[in-house]
Amino acid sequence: MGLTFRKYEPGDEAAILDLFHKAFGSPLKAEFWRWRFLNNPFGEPMIDLAWDGSTLAAHYAVSPVVVDVHGEPRLSALSGTTMTHPQYRGQGLFPKLATSLYDRLKQSGYFMVWGFPNDQSHRGFVRDLGWQDICEIPMLHLEAPQGRGQVSGNVSEFTEFEQAFDDLWPRAKSGYQIAPRREGKFLRWRFHSDSGNRYRLLGCRERGEWLGYAAYKTYGTGLDLVDILVVPDTGADAQLLTALLDVCAKEGLKAINTWLPLRDPTHALLEKMGFRNSAPITYLGARSFAGNPSEVSDVRCWRYTMTDSDVF
C-alpha cells in the first residue's frame, strides 16, 4: 500500500484532529486532545499512526491508567480513539497499528490493555487482537427521580479534589482484585475542565474526614452519575444518592444513569431505589501482557464506573 507506520511525534496534532472530523463527521476539540494524551499525568502519549505521504490514513491511541491488581499498582493502557480515513477503510490498518502499539506497551512494562469497544469494533478486538471478553455492562437507569428524604448535613458540593482525597482510595476500594485507582492525582486530572464536560462534585464528610464522593454531569434532560466511591458500611452512599435525588427534583431532571458492578456494595442500594438495567449495553474487555491471560477476564475481579470510559 506504500504506507508508513510510526508512533506519534509532536506536531501531528493538526492531522489527528482533521482525521477525526473526516472519520466521524464532527470536530474534536484540541483542548480535549491535549488533556487526554499530552497532559495525562501517568505517562507519555501512546499513539500509532499510518501515513500515506502527508495524509493521515489511520490512528490508534491508548491512555495510561494506573490499576490496582491484587493490591499492587500496575500501569495499564485504556484503549481509546480508533479511526480510519474513509478512503482507507477495509485495508486492515487498525490491526497493524494495534499490533505495533501493543508490542511497545509490552516493552514498556504495561500490565494490560483494556477498554470498552463499541458495536463496530468489538468483534475485531476479540478476533484479531487477542482481547478477552469480561462482561457486558448495562446502563443502570432510574426514571423520573424524586427527592426522597432530608439531605444530610454531611453532604456538600465542592469544586476540586483537595489533597485529603488521596487517602480515600485505600479505605474505599472494597477488595476488588482489578480496580482503576481513584487516587487524588487521577481525580484532579480526570474531572478537570479541559476534559470537555462540566462535572459537579458532591462529597460526604464526617468529623473532618472524607467518606466518599459522587461526580455527575447533566446530559439532556437527565443526569449521569459518572463516579461514586464511598468507604463501605458508613452510609455515605445513601447520603450522596439522596442528595442527587434532591438535585434532580430541584433542577427538573427526569432520569439518572450510571454504571456499577453487580457485586459492588452500593449496587443493592441502587436496586432498592428503583434503578433497573437498561440500554445501551457496553462491552468491557482486556488483553493481558503479563501472567495468565485469564486473570483479567473474570468479571468478579473488576471495579468500573463511567469514569473509566472516555465517552462520559
Predicted local confidence at residue 239, as pLDDT: 96
d(CA 203, CA 88): 48
CB proximity list for 251: less than 8 A, separation 6 or greater: 218
d(CA 259, CA 278): 11
pTM: 0.93
Task: Kindly state which CATH superfamily the domain 4-138+281-308 is placed in.
Answer: Gcn5-related N-acetyltransferase (GNAT) (3.40.630.30)
Predicted local confidence at residue 90, as pLDDT: 92
Predicted local confidence at residue 3, as pLDDT: 94
| Domain residue limits, the chain | 4-138+281-308, 139-280
- Cis peptide bond upstream of 280, omega within 30: yes
* 257-264: average pLDDT: 96
Q: By three-state DSSP, how is residue 140 classified?
A: strand
Q: Is 90 exceeded by the pLDDT of residue 37?
A: yes
CB atoms within 10 A of CB 121: 16
Q: Which residue has the cell 474526614?
A: 209
Strands (DSSP E) along 4-101, which ranges?
4-7, 46-52, 55-69, 72-84
When pLDDT is cut at 50, 70 and 90, the band that residue 299 belongs to is very high
Predicted local confidence at residue 292, as pLDDT: 74
The rounded mean pLDDT for the chain is: 94
CB proximity list for 214: less than 8 A, separation 6 or greater: 201, 202, 225, 227, 228, 240, 241, 243, 244
CB proximity list for 96: less than 8 A, separation 6 or greater: 5, 50
Predicted local confidence at residue 152, as pLDDT: 87
Residue of higher predicted confidence among 45 and 305: 305
* 28-51: average pLDDT: 94
Burial of 139 from C-beta contacts in 10 A (0-12 / 13-18 / 19+): middle
d(CA 29, CA 7): 21
Predicted local confidence at residue 148, as pLDDT: 67
pLDDT in tens, 182-197: 999 999 999 988 888 8
What is the enclosing helix (H) or strand (E) of 20?
helix 13-24
Architecture of domain 139-280: 3-Layer(aba) Sandwich (3.40)
User: 142 to each of 107, 135, 214, 251, how far by Cα in Å?
Assistant: 44, 22, 16, 16
First to last CA, the chain: 36
* 132-159: average pLDDT: 90
Predicted local confidence at residue 206, as pLDDT: 94
Predicted local confidence at residue 1, as pLDDT: 59
Predicted local confidence at residue 25, as pLDDT: 94
Asked if 4-138+281-308 and 139-280 have one fold, the answer is: yes
pLDDT in tens, 192-214: 888 888 999 999 999 989 999 99
Q: By three-state DSSP, how is residue 309 classified?
A: coil
When pLDDT is cut at 50, 70 and 90, the band that residue 145 belongs to is confident
